[in-house]
Structure 1
Amino acid sequence: MAHSFRSETDSGLEISTSELTGALGDSVTVLPLLVALAATTTVSVPHVLLGFGVFQIVWGVYYGMPLSVEPMKALIGLAIVGSLSYPELAAAGLLAGGVLLTVGNLGLVGRLQTVVGEPAIRGVQFAVALLLLEAAVGLSTGNLPVAAVGLAVVGLLAVVGYRQSSVLLVLGLGGVVAVATTGMPTPRLPDPTLFPAGTPTLSGAALEGTVAQLGMTVGNAAIATALLCGDLYDRDVSSDTLSTSMGVTCLAAIPIGGVPMCHGSGGLAGKYAFGARTGGANVILGMGYLALALVATGALLAAFPLSLLGVLLVVVALELARAAIAPIAGSRALVIVIGVGVVGLAVNVGVAFVLGTVACWLSSRSETSR
């Protein structure tokens, strides 16, 4: 008997403790990148948080499930290391948004998905899990004693059956440390101006970054996330729909000072790992981001102990890895999944996606010829 999925936009909004802890599970994939971006570019932290807050709520209500809204990691990474200025980052995000909106409306991502083998898609999920784990180790080793405390808290609460609540306690401790370090900031509304951190500037570096990001976005944020919606939430969400909503997000958020954003399997797994099951998690997190936009400064975010976020990121990475491997454990396809994951970690997720697609095609031809 065929499995029946629920539709793309089934209503589902619940406000509960599990939705709250699940919501915060997504933030651990956002905050470390935002802290680094604020330290290295002219980005306006309140405006970025405003963008995240608005679109967490928009897509949580629209999809009725805890769909992730996270930074486009390839572009954000290039900005953090100095390869892109914020104006170039904004231009790349607008370009990527236009492409994603177009290909989603034309149904091109869905057509690509019919060509790409499932092991390649799950390999992309596994690659993102490895990248998150790598980031978690890097963050945790920044302050090993603090990370050890965070790990002890998560482990103890998991043993007594309250793993989901650990995110509340760990983030709460980090917030107390940050406020104690910088003092309580005075609330203020973000300036209502277009492109508050700089006018978009298209350059060769921005074009190259856009190409790299689109490869990762199509593989992870569209196709792999669509698959994960079915695995974790029993939802039939098409990759074209996800591509379209990511395009809308970028085109609408960047003019108000946001950064390029996408849906992603890492954030979705994070929400699931910590208890989110409905779009209520997005509403809670969105309201939290909007509140934080009133008081957040680069100094406040920089004072947050990132080693604590690293501990929570480990939980997210393990959940995503489990979701990628469990459905095909013991099959020959596992070799492709692991191979794609390793290439994604060592080289680039977009490159791994292409190589995984080729590997699936060759494997299919080999089986057909037998």
Structure 2
Amino acid sequence: MAYSFGSTAETGLEFSTRELTGALGDSVTVLPLIVALAMTTSVSLPHVLIGFGLFQIVWGLYYGMPLSVEPMKALVGLAIVGALSYAELAAAGLLAGGVLLVVGRFGLVGRLQRVVGEPVVRGVQFAVALLLLESAVGLSLENVSVAVAGFAVVAGFALVGRQQTSVLVVLALGGVAAVATAGVPAPRVPEFALFPAGTPTLSTAALEGTAAQLGMTVGNAAIATALLCGDLYDRDVSADSLSRSMGVTCLAAVPIGGVPMCHGSGGLAGKYAFGARTAGANVLLGVGYLALALVAAGALLAAFPMALLGVLLVVVALELGRAAFARVDDGRSFALVVGVGVLGLAVNVGLAFALGAIVFWLLSRDE
């Protein structure tokens, strides 16, 4: 059964089974990362969920389509693996938000993408994927039997073409195990406070992470997502408009305890693949996140099996790695993606990003 308001071909809302399944298609790119972040840093999961809930609804209604709202994967991934503290993550999010707002206002997104180079952006994606995979292996080794069971679930769903669904199933199994250990928490409204998990701290690591994230954001969350809006939904949404909305999101969400957020072509494609055609999917998902924030207690989170978290991170890492090489069609680009990724794993993502951009610039001069 579907309930429609207005013209679903333009900016209407539809609440139906397909909109609900489409909403879940976006959540598989969000929940594993923010659960992992909450388990490895001082971030407040309820506040993070509130941020995602609010901005799913805001941008769905604003753009009149099921636009994705995802964590900034480079920054959140670096925080998960310990390269950034939450205070540094918050500072990087505010800095990234300010830059995105300015460059979107002056129409500079396309120029930035050409300067950085897509292979370098893809290399940063690959580096973060490798870092997440490294962390996932360590977590999985904490309880090998549980991890093996989790991987069996993922493999089983993958065999029938439902790998994305497997992430939700593993997350649900971990939630059941946590409830069995810690009990069902009583609903509690999170207290409002500015920077509830810590005051932002700007550091060299935060600056490096911001630079690396902006490269990914410009390419994937702005330009690629704008193209996909036209391809999938026949909507003319500019990359600069998406840049501005991401800037507003970061500047508004981080102070109330959220994390740096962006749009993303992967989440948008996931929503479309699972059936979402209107902003109703965003409203449903936003309400779901807000409801989840009421029961996201610390004791429940602490009881979540770490080995299953490792399984989730493996799936996220593989998906991010796959996306990094999806559009690489020549040997030189492939070498640059691999080089940036391996250097980011071995040394530092910020340094890998900077050196990759220099190499790309030098190679472009020879063309």
State the TM-score, normalized to the length of structure 2.
0.79
Matching residue's letter, 2:295: V
What does 1:146-157 correspond to in 2, within 5 Å? 146-157=146-157
Alpha-carbon distance in structure 2 between the residues aligned to 1:307 and 1:79: 15
Matching residue's letter, 2:216: N
Matching residue's letter, 2:306: L
Q: Structure 1 residues 171, 148: closer, same or farther in 2, change over 3 A?
A: same
What does 1:250-269 correspond to in 2, within 5 Å? 250-263=250-263, 268=267
Alpha-carbon distance in structure 2 between the residues aligned to 1:283 and 1:318: 29
Q: How far off its partner does 1:133 sit?
A: 2.4
3-state SS of 1:15 partner:
helix
Q: Structure 1 residues 335, 84: closer, same or farther in 2, change over 3 A?
A: closer
Query: % of aligned pairs identical?
Result: 54
Give the structure 1 partner of residue 124 of structure 2: 124
Q: Structure 1 residues 103, 146: closer, same or farther in 2, change over 3 A?
A: same
Check if 1:355 corresponds to 2:355.
yes
3-state SS of 1:113 partner:
helix
What does 1:231-310 correspond to in 2, within 5 Å? 234=231, 239-263=239-263, 268=267, 271=270, 275=274, 282-310=282-310
Give the structure 1 partner of residue 40 of structure 2: 36
Alpha-carbon distance in structure 1 between the residues aligned to 2:97 and 2:199: 14
1:57-80 Cα offsets, whole Å, 9 max, x none, are: 333444534524215754785698
Check if 1:325 corresponds to 2:329.
no
Q: How far off its partner does 1:143 sit?
A: 1.9
Give the structure 2 partner of residue 70 of structure 1: 71
3-state SS of 2:68 partner:
coil
Q: Structure 1 residues 325, 313: closer, same or farther in 2, change over 3 A?
A: same
Give the conservation status (yes or no) of the 8 Å contact 1:110–1:238. Answer: no
Give the conservation status (yes or no) of the 8 Å contact 1:68–1:264. Answer: yes
User: Structure 1: which 5+ runs fail to align?
Assistant: 1-8
1:80-105 Cα offsets, whole Å, 9 max, x none, are: 8597575x765554344333322331
Check if 1:218 corresponds to 2:214.
yes
Give the structure 2 partner of residue 206 of structure 1: 202
Check if 1:26 corresponds to 2:27.
no
Q: How far off its partner does 1:333 sit?
A: 2.0
Q: How far off its partner does 1:55 sit?
A: 1.8
Give the structure 2 partner of residue 4 of structure 1: none
Give the structure 2 partner of residue 113 of structure 1: 113
Matching residue's letter, 1:106: F
Q: How far off its partner does 1:187 sit?
A: 0.8
Alpha-carbon distance in structure 2 between the residues aligned to 1:310 and 1:273: 28
Q: How far off its partner does 1:50 sit?
A: 1.1
Alpha-carbon distance in structure 2 between the residues aligned to 1:316 and 1:50: 22
Give the conservation status (yes or no) of the 8 Å contact 2:81–2:132. Answer: no
Give the conservation status (yes or no) of the 8 Å contact 1:32–1:306. Answer: no
Give the structure 2 partner of residue 3 of structure 1: none
Matching residue's letter, 1:358: I
Alpha-carbon distance in structure 1 between the residues aligned to 2:187 and 2:204: 38
3-state SS of 2:321 partner:
helix
Q: How far off its partner does 1:186 sit?
A: 0.9
Give the structure 2 partner of residue 100 of structure 1: 100
Q: How far off its partner does 1:173 sit?
A: 0.9
1:162-216 Cα offsets, whole Å, 9 max, x none, are: 333322321211111111111111112222x341627846xxx524344223202
Q: Structure 1 residues 274, 136: closer, same or farther in 2, change over 3 A?
A: farther
Give the structure 1 partner of residue 311 of structure 2: 311
Q: Structure 1 residues 358, 143: closer, same or farther in 2, change over 3 A?
A: same
3-state SS of 1:30 partner:
helix
Matching residue's letter, 2:299: A
Alpha-carbon distance in structure 2 between the residues aligned to 1:272 and 1:319: 16
